[in-house]
Chain A
Amino acid sequence: MAVEREVIIPNKEGLHFRPIMQFVDVAQRYQAGVTVHCEDRSADGRSPMEMLMLVATQGSKVRVVADGADAGELLEALASLVESGFGEA
């Protein structure tokens, strides 16, 4: 079953190389599928290629939708990753 959460990209450089890599790393560890929406664009959360195309900059509102057995846990993990600013100072 699908769950979703809206988060705001807090880090200065937005969804670029490093944060996308962390995001995808997390997403790939779970069973559930994940789709990320930003404005009118959407991306598979496991695909760095598509995540780059989101062009989510600092302050962008991003809706994360997880769907599958461990969707709740995945969403939790992704949300805390984003909210932590991807571990950047």
Chain B
Amino acid sequence: MAAGPVAARTPRTPRPMITKKGINASPGVAIGPSLVLDTEEYRIPHRTIDPSQVPAHVRNLEVALEASRQEVGELRVAAARKLGDQTAVIFAFHEQFIADPKLRTSVEELITRRQFSAAYAFGQVMSEQQRRFRSVNDPYLQERVRDLHDIERRVLRHILGRDREDMTRLTEPVIIVATDITPSQAISLDRAHILGFAIDVGGQTSHMAIIARMLGIPAVVALGDITSDVSGGETLIVDGTNGIVVASPDPATITHFETRRREHERNERRLGKLRGLPATTRDGVTIELLANIEVPEEVPNAVELGADGIGLYRTELLFLGSPRLPTEEQQYEAFRDVLVAAGDRPVIIRTIDLGADKLSPAMASGHHDHNPVLGLRSLRYCLLHLDMFKTHLRAILRASVHGDMRLMFPMITTVMELRQAKATLADVMEDLGEEGIPFRRDLPIGMMVETPAAALLASSFAREAAFFSIGTNDLTQYTLAVDRGNERVAHLYSSHNPAVLALVQRVVRATRGRKVEVSICGEMAGTPLYTQLLLGMGLRRLSMAPKDIPAVKQIVRATDIPCCERIAREVSRFDTDRQVLNFLRDEIRRVQEELGEGDGETSPAPAARTRRAARSRRGEGSRPRDGDSGGRAAS
């Protein structure tokens, strides 16, 4: 018998469907062929070929394998000479691996039997092999996955030859699969042909995630090794609402997600119609809808979605990405870009709010707080590190001449802190004045109200601040003493808890009769369920993730102030968050029935909606927005 017996592990059958859970970075559902980018940005141009092309592709494979083997052979000789035998043996193995008759026959079989292109077939066999290596519980074998990856890239380069295409010139819609995408890559990608992103690394606030949301492209990040699990051209589903990626889905799964995709798009279209309309209530009161953003690139999208300005520009991202602190110039440029992009719309810039869950690598000292949420974070940190803080403030002040800027300090608990922060700002102003550097001397100075202490003393603060922005996420956390990131207590976290609402009401009342403007940022502001309540409590400015603006606007336009005030009065009588929630649900259902939706909830995320509906049917309490993707907490 000439050939050895067929080993049980040779890939012959189509690979089974795999489902991976990552972090929901940008909502929506995408279904399509994958385009796997490695560091050299290869793409597999065609997945299947015409039967007449089969011999050409088999030949292409053979030539590529032989060319790769020779290349590695030369590397082996060079490595033996320069680096010694240890390194050479690795190349010797690669050489033998590329020449492995099993490898060739497996790929050939996929080409001849399934009319896969040579590149796609090779990618399939290699990623299947990588998966097998990983599945064996042997550290040595798992290390070898890297060798496989190396081999795969080498041979693909030979197979594709001049067919390698520039990823900025895509010709068909694809789902981008990559280890990471830099912002400039993401922006330069041909948007029209990108259906979605599936990314190995990152979190909800990574640049990648922000840009995907900005572009309105579904994305899942933190998938681990999706780049090795998926081969180019394989069908993928990206559910950016729920953070799920499915590779090689079966027909039933495709149908299921297809339905979700259509639902999501229908919803988006409906809300899109609101973009050009004012956020005015039925009785003629105009509500300012502002956007929470993190990078300058988000501004045009926010404006397009109907933002009247930037209610919260989080400056942390500048500090989080890099191991070094950003220079004054780098900060200035980012701040200036936001102001320029916003045109004559107001921009509220918040001084760096780092600590607790977010700590810059450059700022992390050896010291760790036992209780970081109550520790040295945010403004407290800044007031202890005045050099860094002053550089930050200089950059802000220098940028202030470019538009309608307002400055806001986060995490204030005492009047003294606010005074200290303002004194530091005055110092910096004096320095700039002496240096003859222009800045706006009349820059309005406001503060976040996110601690119960600040809310309770709002009347005192109102004498010293030009405006308040109520940060409901942290305010809820500190009022209820619940770390919402801690799953064992997260069920106790609800912004509609009567205690939190009483504090919000107190802050709004403290501004009455004074020239202090008050707005609300945080997830409450972007949640339609709360819109009428917030208006009823007297708020007229809401700042939210840009994508939430249309849904909130829809509610604003469907209600009137007396109705909102009735709702606020009713709610103020409740003792439990459950009562508040049930009441608000009934109220919003009424609005939605008038709008002709009649499905009970307004959320751009159908899946979250279904989950919530299921929960409410079971009579469980639920926090709005959990499970929803979207803008981060505006802590």
- A residues neighboring B (CB under 8 Å): 16-18, 20-21, 24-25, 31-35, 42-50, 52-53, 55, 67-68
Contact = CB atoms under 8 A, between A and B. Distances in A.
B103 A49 contact: yes
Nearest to B132: A53
Given A33-B2, A35-B5, A48-B93, A55 B100 contact: no
A68 B92 contact: no
A44 B133 contact: no
Given A33-B1, A33-B4, A49 B97 contact: yes
Interface of B: 1-5, 7-9, 89-90, 92-93, 96-97, 100-103, 129, 132-133, 136, 138, 140-141, 144
Contacts of B2: 31, 33, 68
Given A17-B89, A18-B89, A52 B5 contact: no
A53 B89 CA distance: 18
B3 A53 contact: no
Contacts of A43: 7
A9 B340 CA distance: 71
Contacts of A49: 97, 100, 102-103, 129
Given A24-B96, A53-B132, A33 B8 contact: no
B141 A55 contact: yes
B8 A55 contact: no
B623 to A, nearest CB: 48
A16 B86 CA distance: 13
A26 to B, nearest CB: 12
A53 B136 contact: yes
A48 to B, nearest CB: 5
A71 B63 CA distance: 32
Q: Ordered nearest first, which 3 A-B pairs have the shortest CB separation?
A: A33-B4, A47-B102, A44-B4
Nearest to A1: B1
Nearest to B148: A49
Contacts of A18: 89
Most A-side CB within 10 Å, residue of B7, B92, B101? B7
B139 to A, nearest CB: 10
B93 to A, nearest CB: 5
B5 A55 contact: no
A34 B4 contact: yes
B96 A53 contact: no
A53 B96 CA distance: 15
Nearest to B93: A17
B5 A47 contact: no
B467 to A, nearest CB: 65
